[in-house]
Amino acid sequence: MGKLFYIIMLALITVSVPAFSQYGDADSLMLQYRKQIGEASARLEVDPLVVESVVYPEVVRYSALQDEIERFLVHGVYVRFGLSQGDFSIGVFQMKPSFVESLERRWNLADTLPSHYLLYFSTMNRSEFSRSQRIRKMTSVEGQCLYAAVFVKLMEHCLYVSANIPDAAERVRLMATAYNRGVVWNVTTLDQIEEWSHKATFHTDMIATPFTKYCRYGDIAVEHYNFLNK
pLDDT score of 229: 93
pLDDT tens digits, one per residue of 158-188: 999 989 999 999 999 999 999 999 899 999 9
Whether 54 contacts 180, CB under 8 Å? no
pLDDT score of 198: 95
pLDDT score of 76: 67
pLDDT score of 33: 94
pLDDT score of 125: 67
Ranges of the chain with pLDDT below 50:
1, 5-21
Whether 53 contacts 221, CB under 8 Å? yes
Write the DSSP string, 40-55.
HHHHHT--HHHHHHHH
pLDDT score of 199: 95
pLDDT score of 78: 74
- pTM for this model (two decimals): 0.84
Q: Give rounded-to-5 percent helix, strand, coil for the chain.
A: 65, 0, 30
